[in-house]
Amino acid sequence: MALLSLMGTLPHVSAPTKAVVLLVALAASAAACGGNAPTIVASHSPSPSVQASPSTQASASPSAQASSTPQPQPVTGAYALLVGNQATTSYTVSLIGIDGKVAATVQASTPAQVSCANAAAALVSLPVSASNSRAYFMDAQGVIRFLAPNGDTGRATSVPAPTASRRSMFAVSPDDQRIAVIVDDFTSAGAATRLYVEDLNGGGNHLDLFSQSGAYTLWPVGWHGTNNLIVAKVASCTQGGGPFCCGPLELHVIDPATATRRFTIGNSPSCVIAGSPSPAGAVCESTSNFMQATVLNWTAGTVRSLALNGPTFAYLAPSSGMVAMVDNNGTSFTIGAATISGMFACGWIDDGHVISGGDAQHQPRVATVTTGAVVPVAAQGDCGGRLPGGL
């Protein structure tokens, strides 16, 4: 997954900061990102801009992989993916177990910061994705490498290199076979968006699926199985703040061979995505009063409604149906779990554990939801997803 998750699907500020920003700026940002904003890119189903057939025009295919490259191995447990600060020249990717221990970590050069022709900040997702066996991450040259919990690492493929006005974002399928790539070229008017899907190994079976320009773009969030690609509708640029103006507004379940939209999760004018999705679906939050949320499955069915006390991040557990709700006080849960004051979760590891992001001043932590027990994590960064990574 991707995601998010997002996998990394919310604005890139550290978890302790997110909750504070949420209450200060959310009300103003909702109008900017959902209520009255014109829908340009993602208001309709992505449809092929060219015939969706295999092409030899791979955007940035890798050379043949060496025979010694480690093969993907299914994970035997669950891991959180923490992604380091994107404002420095290099960043870390770390896999964290449910015990809070760092299973594996690696460092990469950070992709160039992007802007909308210096008129506004360009909105991009974290440069990571997760399959069911590996975390994938992009460096400053557009090379995508992998990291497994056992420490295996190597080169997977490459995508169009990031620049001050271009960013490639990607999502690897759960079985490590396919990669969906969105390439955004940013201008003062928004972004020119291009979506393609190809084989992860070698870049074969390349499909150019969708292209359009405007004030909204798409992020590749992850895969639901191997035949449903999840993309998020997102504003291309921002000059303001507020978490819900700068992350996914709604999620689209599309066919990875044709870009035909199958389902829409959430609704950007009225119920925006409130947290990174999971294999069980996602939560959207009402923009009218921020007192109501809806849990949705991957066929856009309503699972349940939630009453909220105000603006809240909401993360759906992988399979249990429990929701973690994060506000300025900490993290609470819908049923059968303790409230954890001062711990600002940014994602689930498995159905029994959540993780918070952080930096040198606010150490990330893993919490057991049934007891509220918390352990520190010897790594830094924001939540970028989990392994296994399928949605």
More confident residue, 135 or 34: 135
pLDDT of residue 13: 33
Asked if pLDDT for residue 310 goes beyond 60, the answer is: yes
What domains can you pick out in the chain, each with its CATH number?
Answer: 15-62+73-387 (2.130.10)
What is the per-residue DSSP string for 220-239? EEEESTTS-EEEEEEESEES
**pLDDT cut 90: percent of the chain above it:** 71
More confident residue, 134 or 12: 134
Confidence band of 69 (pLDDT split at 50, 70, 90): confident
Asked if pLDDT for residue 16 goes beyond 80, the answer is: no
pLDDT of residue 321: 86
**3-state percent helix, strand, coil for the chain, nearest multiple of 5:** 5, 45, 50
Asked if pLDDT for residue 97 goes beyond 90, the answer is: yes
pLDDT of residue 108: 98
What is the per-residue DSSP string for 130-171? E-SS-EEEE-TTSEEEEE-TTS-EEEEEE-SPP-SSEEEEEE
Asked if pLDDT for residue 96 goes beyond 60, the answer is: yes
The verdict on whether omega for the bond into residue 165 sits within 30 degrees of 0, i.e. cis, is no
Q: Across the chain, which distance is largest between two alpha carbons, in Å?
A: 56
Asked if pLDDT for residue 11 goes beyond 60, the answer is: no
* Averaged pLDDT for residues 351-357: 97
CA distance 238 to 255: 29
CB 197 within 8 A of CB 260: no
Q: What are phi and psi of 341, to 5 degrees?
A: -70, 140
Q: What are phi and psi of 114, to 5 degrees?
A: -120, 150
**111 DSSP 8-state letter:** P
More confident residue, 36 or 308: 308
* Averaged pLDDT for residues 315-342: 91
CA distance 302 to 316: 13
CA distance 202 to 66: 11
* Averaged pLDDT for residues 164-193: 97
CB 320 within 8 A of CB 333: no
pLDDT of residue 68: 67
CB 231 within 8 A of CB 250: no
Give SS3 for 32: helix
Strands, sheet with 282-286, edge to edge from the N-terminal-most edge strand: 271-273, 282-286, 292-296, 302-307
Tokens of 145: 């490498």
Between 20-29, 120-129, 291-300, 333-342, the lowest mean confidence (pLDDT) is in 20-29
Most confident of the following: 64-73, 178-187, 245-254: 178-187
**Per-residue pLDDT tens digits for 360-373:** 899 999 999 999 99
Asked if pLDDT for residue 25 goes beyond 80, the answer is: no
Confidence band of 140 (pLDDT split at 50, 70, 90): very high
pLDDT of residue 390: 95
Most confident of the following: 31-45, 179-193, 279-293, 308-322: 179-193
**pLDDT cut 70: percent of the chain above it:** 82
More confident residue, 226 or 120: 226
- This prediction has a pTM of 0.85
Tell whether the torsion through CA atoms of 94, 97, 100 and 103 is positive or negative.
negative
- In terms of Cα–Cα distance, which of 297, 182, 293, 311 is closest to 245? 311
* Averaged pLDDT for residues 216-241: 94
* Averaged pLDDT for residues 378-384: 97
* Averaged pLDDT for residues 239-268: 89
Mean pLDDT of the chain: 84
* Averaged pLDDT for residues 32-43: 34
CA 270, 276, 279 angle in degrees (round to 5)? Answer: 110
Exposure string for 149-165, b = 16+ CB within 10 A, e = fewer: beebbeebbbbbbbeeb
Alpha helices by DSSP H, 33-119: none
Tokens of 383: 């939540």
Asked if pLDDT for residue 185 goes beyond 70, the answer is: yes
CA distance 174 to 24: 37
